[in-house]
Amino acid sequence: MNTKNILLAGLFSLTALFSSCNDFTEINEDPNQVGESKVKPEWFLNGSIIGAQMNPEIAERIFIAEWNRAARFNRGSGFTIGTDNNDYITLYLSNSYAVGWLNKATKAIELGEKKVAEGEAEQYPYYKNVIQMARIWRAYLNAEVSDGFGPIPALSAFTGVPAEYDSVEAIYGFILSELKEAEAALDPSIDMSDMAGEDAFYAGNINAWKKYANSLRMRYAMRISDVSPALAKTEFEDAAGKTFIATLDDMAAVQEKDGWGDLTGVMSRTWNAQPMSVTFKNLVVGLGSTEFPVPDSLKSHLKNPHDYMGLYLSKHFPLNTNDPCAGFYFDGIPQYVDPRAPKLFSVVGWNDGIVYPDYIGSASSVTTVNLMDPSDNSKPMLSIDPKYTWGTWVAGEWNDLAGLVSELTGKNYNYPSIAKQYRMNTMKRVFFGPWESYFLMAEAAVKGWTVPGTAKSNYENGITVSFQYHGVESEVAQYLASTDYNRVGTSVSFDHTTEAQPYTVNYVDPYTKENKTMTYTYPKNSIYRGGSYNNDALTKIITQKYIAQVPWLPEEAWSDHRRLGLPFFENQAVEKDYNPLNQVPLTMATAKECRLEFYPKRYRYPANIQTNNLEGYQKALELLGGADLTTTPLWWNLK
């Protein structure tokens, strides 16, 4: 252990920072002062940032199992259908993780302020900036945690008394004021070279930190725009008038490292297949008029998604869902797809050496599978070959159908899965990408707020920088002009707002071997503008923002859906009624409807909070304004 870590460990060894109480009681504790004169505030700041990068223990439980499922970045049930995991949430809300990150950020502020007051800034002038950097970072952490739970003890003075819970409204007011004040107080003229190695984001680049603060302020101002419109507008316009994260070089991101530690990649665990979701598939298939890039040897497997649906497996796939492709298995590779999508998810059975993740099993293992007879599930009824396909299907409650298709659905390699590069600990985990700044300003322009550029120019800039990130910028001109619809009735061209209409498509009845036709009907997203719009400006903006955020920012995509009802999230399969005690209240009778209560809004507080701090728990629920359920909306959520 190096000297810095020994001193940090000593400083906190007698405190509750690493205790097992596992609730917010510890936020507000005054760390033991042992060795404080020898430690530096930037050590605490960087420790907090690196910790929040998430080691494999917490990444698989929060980033993958909760955030990815809530945002539909991966296919799965669990939190997608409202079932959170108390063990996971308890671990996250502990001093080892979220509470510890907040404590370290606060310690960086307090220690920095103390050293400045004692005159150490004469020798270490950069302490003044470290204080502001830590305020910016703590604002992010308060949002990360409160966006998951709701009320938390965010505003306490950390004086050593038990923390009191604060409302989400109060927390957001605090976040916005902290970001504004800290950004204004940052001094780019101060030499930061002495602490550059303790800044995992920007190596002491203060101008970059100012951009990060302003972009965060835009994010959080927009978050509250429907519940506090005047404050949101004022804060957003002020932040947008300053510098913000606008290029890939500005990105707030932390370098991953191999091994098992805080810097290990959040998507690196071999047992997490991370298959493509139906939500993502429906958004990208048919979008942008760009052909799926495959070698000539695979071009015969390309099938036009605009006029072909696939095999209608009505006896084997669930139909009780509002997925517009319910029952269909796409037996090929969609010929036209958003060009970022093939960079993100693999083709079944094709190891291209770049995207295909070996963790899910060898591509050569993909073989013909049997679908069993519903009247005798020991007897095969159909055989299909998943090789060279790029499709997926809903999760949820399949009931008896699950046993009929297990040869297909039970193998990870039969799904497109997250690209290999995101699993090898060689990327930078993105906390804020430049595309988000532009999409936020595009949304602001739609609202009529004063921002640089127009809604269209910001929208197109967001797409362009996202294409740059994925290395497909050569495709952007054709893409931006496309008027082709995806599976949910949204096109790319900003000026093309004609709503998609039902039309005739082809499919194959695998039971009779007949080619047939049907009327394809786009989904009715009833929680957004009454379900009458799938191709208006805001739907386009949030669709593109969602695609751009994959795979790094699932909590943000989840927040957009909670705030706006966009993009369209299909219901998972409902072949039997869900249990409303630990799932969203979907039934077979309501499976094709789109309602706010069918999507999780938060995770519940750890069960031990009721035991350890009943008074605080009751206060939290009072501030939440509802029961401790995953379907209870937060202050800023769509209601």
Amino acid identity for residue 622 in this structure: E
Distance spanning both ends of the chain, measured CA to CA: 51
In single-letter form, the type of residue at position 554 comes to: P
Architecture of domain 428-499+524-574 in this structure? Up-down Bundle (1.20)
User: Nearest to residue 486, comparing CAs of 455, 460, 516, 520?
Assistant: 520
Q: Please give the pLDDT value at position 408.
A: 98
Q: How far is CA 539 from CA 283, 323, 421, 490, 491, in A?
A: 11, 18, 30, 7, 10
For 507-525, what is each residue's pLDDT tens digit? Answer: 999 999 999 999 999 999 9
CB 349 within 8 A of CB 386: yes
In the chain, what are the domain boundaries?
36-54+97-255, 278-420, 428-499+524-574
The span from the CA of 370 to the CA of 446, in Å, is 50
The domains spanning 36-54+97-255 and 428-499+524-574 adopt the same CATH topology:
no
pLDDT of residue 164: 87
**H helix or E strand, kind and range, residue 623:** helix 614-624
Nearest Cα to Cα of residue 338 among 57, 117, 540, 612 = 540
Q: Where are the alpha helices (DSSP H) in 126-240?
A: 127-149, 168-185, 206-223, 229-240
The class that CATH gives domain 36-54+97-255 is mainly alpha
Q: Is there a cis peptide before residue 567, judged by omega within 30 degrees of 0?
A: yes
pLDDT of the residue at 21:
37
Three-state SS sequence of 198-228: HCCCCCCCHHHHHHHHHHHHHHHHHHCCCCC
Which two structure tokens, joined as six digits, stand for 527?
């929680």
Torsion angles phi and psi, residue 611, rounded to 5: -80, -45
Report how far residue 101's alpha carbon sits from residue 254's, in angstroms, rounded to the nearest whole number: 15
Q: Which residues of the chain have pLDDT under 70?
A: 1-35, 156-162
72 vs 558: CA distance, rounded Å: 8
